[in-house]
Structure 1
Amino acid sequence: MKRKVIVFGLVGLLILGTFFGCSKAASTKEAESATLVLKNGAIYTMDEEDRVASAVAVINDQIVYVGDDAGVESYVGDDTEVIDLDGKMVTPGFIDGHIHAASDQLSRLYSVYLTDTEPDIKLYQAALKEFAEKHPELEVIIGRGFQLKAFGDEGPTKDVLDEIISDRPVIISDTSGHGDWVNTKTLEMAGITKDTQAPAGGEIYRDANGEPSGYLSDAGELIANLTEKTKTTPEQFFEAFKVFEDESAAKGITGINSMGSDIAAPVIWKMMDDYAKTGEMTLRVKFAHRAVDGDDPAQIVKELQDGQQYVSDMQNIIDIKTFIDGVPEGKTSYLLKPYAATANMAEDYRGEAMWSQESLNEFVAAADKAGYAVDVHAMGDASSRMFIDAVEYAFEQNGKRDARHNLIHANLLDPADIPRMGELGIYAGMQPIWFYKDPIFSQLEIQMLGQERFDQEYVIRDMLEAGIIMTGSSDSPVTTDNRPLIGIECGVTQCSPYPGGGQGDPVFVRNVNQTVSVIDMLRFYTINGAKEMFMEKTIGSIEVGKKADMVVLTQDITKIKPDDISETEVVSTIFNGKIVYQK
């Protein structure tokens, strides 16, 4: 059988690179024929020296050679699939460091999906009406993706929903997933009245008479009796996950850190293990256990320990996710200083934490002692400090270790807390698509936080210089455009990555002093993501002995104008040595 040769395009420059001495091959004996060879490319290894090669050889699922074109020839046999890259760029497979796997796909399949609808009340009503008429069997109607921008200062109201549906409860989450727009029937069935108190860290929005207006921010527990009836089944989740998996491959994503679902983590762990054993799975995964204040850490640790039977090179089980606060646009972030006057809250209003410092300290210490990482959602400088203090407390109790506790979002930090994060080895789970001054959320953040604090957000260069390891992610479905190349451009430019949508316009630049390099951003989405998964010995860089997870791009994004990064396309995605996506 003659060997196959595939040529990818005509663009790109041949990078001779630095070739790797003794790390070129798995062995000095005569090379075994590879199943796959890539050559004549710009292969960014993302190893400790950021070396660049021109060729790589793979046997089955493992990388056996990284080096130059001449050296790879000894791995080419009659049955080797040879890909001539013609100068194209290759990187390790991308890793989304914070995502809610299949949530967007579930919304598209089973609920009112407003994410792609223009932020307009009439259009929202039309979509709801159409869905309700198609699904008369549903006891509770749920949806996702509305923009607060559509409602002005009054915010979402129950009356708008009542006009369309008044006989069934309706619950529509906003784009952040922290706010719920509900109708009168929902309020009645949940028992939410003028006298109902908001839960810790949450808000019940009210009209001029003090009655619930129809918008709840971080108050989902008040409507849990209704949302319980809409829970995803394992079968639905798996159907959506396979769609999510295919869409991920098309974006070059080969690994994810998933931070929660309404299905219990142990159920998902077994589901993923069963799927991995079929040999058809094309994503490496880490699904976090969820926790809230009041949960018994010993019980969660026990479930994590029981889950170790499902750990493999396809899945890791090592972390717990919780929330300390909400979101600035919902006025539920927990701040060191009061919200801006334009937020229209009480003069001393700073938000409220969902945990007490004492209970958070003890929870993090218990998880840390058992060897597990804690991932915390925090979008205020006060909530971020609470977590940093809790990690410091845990290390005082247990001794410092490479724990990789993770501050998710890390958008607003007191400058004094940045070096503390670096010293404690706390990771930061960033969403680079949020780094630019977008026309929707940025305006809401300026309204709630004020311009000065807005300008202090996402100081990634300062964080990098403090030694903080940051990962790149989308937080999908909060941001449905989860292409890593979009995030990489945002980190490099601090500006919009969308042609015709502000790209290159200084008006959309958030903080020009916080730009970082393309290589810095590639680390976010490759080796740093692998470290967050505790899988850096297996994935995250292109090195001999690691799994063959790689992405081929149309052009070398380190050699082009930063504004062109987001226009770069994924030519193919290779997972476990097999091409799982081909443009």
Structure 2
Amino acid sequence: MSQRYLLSSSLLVSLVASPALSQSADTVFLSENIITSNAEMPLARSMAIAGDSIVCVRTDESCRELADDTTQIVDAGENTIMAGIVDTHLHTRIFGQTHAVMLNLFKYNDATREEVVEVIRDYAAGLGPDEWVIGGGYSDAHFELPTKEELDEIVGGRPALISDNTQHNGWYSTRALEALGIDGSWQPPKGGYMPLNDAGEPVGTLQEKAHLSTGFVEQHKLYSNERQEEAVRAAARIMNAVGVTSATEAAAGSKEGADDVYVRLASKGELNLRHELAMVYWGDGTPEGDAAMTENLLMRRDAIRASDADLDYLTANTVKFAIDGTPGRFAFMEMPYLDGTRPNMNYDPTNLSEIFDTLTEKGFGIMLHVEGNAAIRKSLDAMEYADTTGNPLSDDVLNIFTHLDHLSIDSISRMAELGIAGQLQLHWADPTEPYFLNVIRGNLPDQILDRMWQFKLVTEFLEYGFGPDAPTSAVFSPWEGMEIAMTRQAMGSPSGQRMPGEPLSLDEIIHGSTLGSARLQGKGHMIGSLEEGKKADVIVLDRDIRQQAEANIYEFHKIEVLQTYLGGKLVYDIDRDGEPDKALTEPVWDEGDDEKLRRGVAITNERFDDEAL
């Protein structure tokens, strides 16, 4: 019996056995390396989508039998095709504002202080005398405790608000403080700090929850609806270009709720990034205030469910708490920092326990910003209370601890017992990261520094997902974070310093970037892997990523996305849209050069020839 006959016979059996092959496909994908993120079929060679769903995945090329004369065939050769990346920690609106709407200082972190001052000055000079100067990304290395008088002079007396590169602290001009009603008598919320000058007036810097509860969360009001939508569209465009198809907005809304920008775009079919909204908890710690906050969260969740938004693209079932502040300065630690300070957590522990119990009983998932080891311990106490009071924590709704800078075996054991998931920022394993060098390294003892960001503890014992917390980090491309996590070194630095700790494997990286993160969003049944019946969120890459990891892991960050499909719709194409970078510049190619063909991917609309079998 010939090999050709054997292949045809097996294909015939497959055709008869699978109802999926009874319909025609809009697009058929072929590759030697389709990474499915499905443990039962880790690798496939063909896949077909119809409408917004995957209708066929096979270990041979039989899915292309679904092609007719209207089907697009994407033959990637040996290049990887995989599920779209799921980013479980993105500040979408502010990320889009940073890159498309407001003053972006992240790209000047390597400049001199004088150069950054001139950038701000030039930007302000282009505005009217009463227009707000809104920006983000200044470095502590440039402005450690900047004053309102300094900013007044730089921006020409305009109202100005500039967040630092953690987004947890803000620099305010005199007119900005006045507009917000902040003077020396203002009382920051618990976990917030407002340095005062000798006259008892604000210096001009609001720190942690003092900033998060004012400028950070309210600045959207300074933009029109059109500008808000422009920012979110820009964020989606940038993230699609690096392969991201779904994101968790990690600080959604203002105190009154500002989720409407997502609702507006989703209702118009213009939200090219699936979203789970993590709504910030702004309760004031009183029984009345906390009850009102809970009702507000329920109202916002119900409003989204009742809106015209497609719930495949927009959900809001997560509540976000900033339990403590940024590492090396405001994270709640068991011991004081080297400078003698020891900031506390941002909530009363007893009150927090009751809040967690109330919210989890109402079906919400909890997402906790926890950096310090004491913050992790106290948060686990509160979660254990919620688990043992009333109904136990649900297995169907994951609760998430994000950051997890200072983990211990005891903490991991308690998290695993409660079914809590870990959410990691992979770029922190880079020992040359500027914030680590400028702030963290000088304020923690070596024995603490050597045990930071132990990602392997999380991946060994918990469900887990990834997301860089952009724009609090200049890193937003998942491929950059992946390389750092697999080397614990700076990108492209084989001889560079290594962060202590065990690197992650490529399989762990793939899981945390796809199915693991989808599960953290409560959407593992719908996205995160290439399986029949799931949504067709697919990316086509410019190389075989497994071969890249084996041949030279230090060039993993150079991986590029050639195409991104969201629900079967092509939302990014490198030929059509250009190679991604922070400025979204167009690529420089020779005339007529097809980038996908140059990288070994053939895309046609010709029906597959059955005779080829």
**Whole-angstrom CA distance in 1 between matches of 2:445 and 2:513:** 31
Q: How much does 1:436 deviate?
A: 1.5
Alignment of 1:104-183 (within 5 A): 104-117=95-108, 118-138=110-130, 140-151=132-143, 155-165=145-155, 167-183=157-173
Name the aligned partner's letter for residue 490 of structure 1.
I
**Whole-angstrom CA distance in 2 between matches of 1:412 and 1:453:** 8
Alignment of 1:259-298 (within 5 A): 259-263=250-254, 267-268=258-259, 271-294=261-284, 295-296=290-291, 297-298=294-295
Corresponding position of 2:503 = 515
Q: How much does 1:184 deviate?
A: 4.9
Corresponding position of 1:309 = 306
2:444 matched to 1:477?
no
Q: 1:161 to 1:90 in 2, by over 3 A?
A: same
**Whole-angstrom CA distance in 1 between matches of 2:448 and 2:11:** 47
Q: How much does 1:135 deviate?
A: 1.4
- Residue 260 of structure 1 aligns to a residue whose secondary structure is strand
- Residue 409 of structure 2 aligns to a residue whose secondary structure is coil
**Pick aligned residue for 2:528 from 540, 549, 555:** 540
**Pick aligned residue for 1:203 from 171, 185, 193:** 193
2:66 matched to 1:75?
yes
**Pick aligned residue for 2:361 from 337, 346, 369:** 369
Name the aligned partner's letter for residue 319 of structure 1.
T
2:385 matched to 1:420?
no
Q: How much does 1:435 deviate?
A: 1.7
State the number of aligned residues: 548
- Residue 117 of structure 2 aligns to a residue whose secondary structure is helix
Alignment of 1:411-560 (within 5 A): 411-443=405-437, 444-465=439-460, 467-497=461-491, 499=492, 503-507=493-497, 509-511=498-500, 513-560=501-548
Q: Alpha-carbon deviations, 1:374-395, whole Å to 9, x = none? A: 1111221111222222211111
The question of whether the paired residues in 2 share the 8 Å contact of 1:404 and 1:427 is answered with yes
The question of whether the paired residues in 1 share the 8 Å contact of 2:331 and 2:375 is answered with yes
**Whole-angstrom CA distance in 2 between matches of 1:381 and 1:280:** 41
Q: How much does 1:229 deviate?
A: 9.1
Corresponding position of 1:321 = 320
TM value normalised by structure 2:
0.82
Name the aligned partner's letter for residue 504 of structure 1.
P
The worse-fitting range, judged by mean Cα deviation, of 80-89 and 300-309 is: 300-309
Q: How much does 1:355 deviate?
A: 0.5
Q: How much does 1:265 deviate?
A: 8.1
Where does the alignment leave 5 or more consecutive residues of structure 2 unmatched?
A: 1-9, 285-289, 575-613
**Whole-angstrom CA distance in 2 between matches of 1:21 and 1:176:** 58
Q: 1:82 to 1:165 in 2, by over 3 A?
A: closer
The question of whether the paired residues in 1 share the 8 Å contact of 2:124 and 2:156 is answered with no
The worse-fitting range, judged by mean Cα deviation, of 67-76 and 394-403 is: 67-76
**Whole-angstrom CA distance in 1 between matches of 2:79 and 2:236:** 25
Q: 1:188 to 1:33 in 2, by over 3 A?
A: closer
Corresponding position of 2:34 = 43
Corresponding position of 1:336 = 334
The worse-fitting range, judged by mean Cα deviation, of 393-402 and 537-546 is: 393-402
Name the aligned partner's letter for residue 479 of structure 2.
L
TM value normalised by structure 1:
0.86
Q: How much does 1:105 deviate?
A: 2.4
The question of whether the paired residues in 1 share the 8 Å contact of 2:162 and 2:171 is answered with yes
Q: How much does 1:136 deviate?
A: 2.1
- Residue 248 of structure 1 aligns to a residue whose secondary structure is helix
Corresponding position of 2:393 = 400
**Whole-angstrom CA distance in 2 between matches of 1:523 and 1:382:** 29
**Whole-angstrom CA distance in 2 between matches of 1:208 and 1:576:** 58
The question of whether the paired residues in 1 share the 8 Å contact of 2:406 and 2:451 is answered with yes
Name the aligned partner's letter for residue 251 of structure 1.
V
2:253 matched to 1:253?
no
Name the aligned partner's letter for residue 299 of structure 1.
N
**Whole-angstrom CA distance in 2 between matches of 1:538 and 1:305:** 21
- Residue 352 of structure 1 aligns to a residue whose secondary structure is coil
The question of whether the paired residues in 2 share the 8 Å contact of 1:23 and 1:66 is answered with no
Q: How much does 1:549 deviate?
A: 0.8
Name the aligned partner's letter for residue 265 of structure 2.
Y
Corresponding position of 1:3 = none
Q: How much does 1:287 deviate?
A: 1.4
Q: 1:29 to 1:384 in 2, by over 3 A?
A: closer
Q: How much does 1:314 deviate?
A: 1.6
**Whole-angstrom CA distance in 2 between matches of 1:111 and 1:146:** 13
Q: 1:61 to 1:223 in 2, by over 3 A?
A: closer
Name the aligned partner's letter for residue 554 of structure 2.
D
The question of whether the paired residues in 2 share the 8 Å contact of 1:166 and 1:183 is answered with no
**Whole-angstrom CA distance in 2 between matches of 1:439 and 1:517:** 21
Q: How much does 1:514 deviate?
A: 2.0
Q: How much does 1:228 deviate?
A: 6.3
- Residue 547 of structure 2 aligns to a residue whose secondary structure is coil
2:383 matched to 1:391?
yes
Q: How much does 1:267 deviate?
A: 4.9
Q: 1:48 to 1:68 in 2, by over 3 A?
A: closer
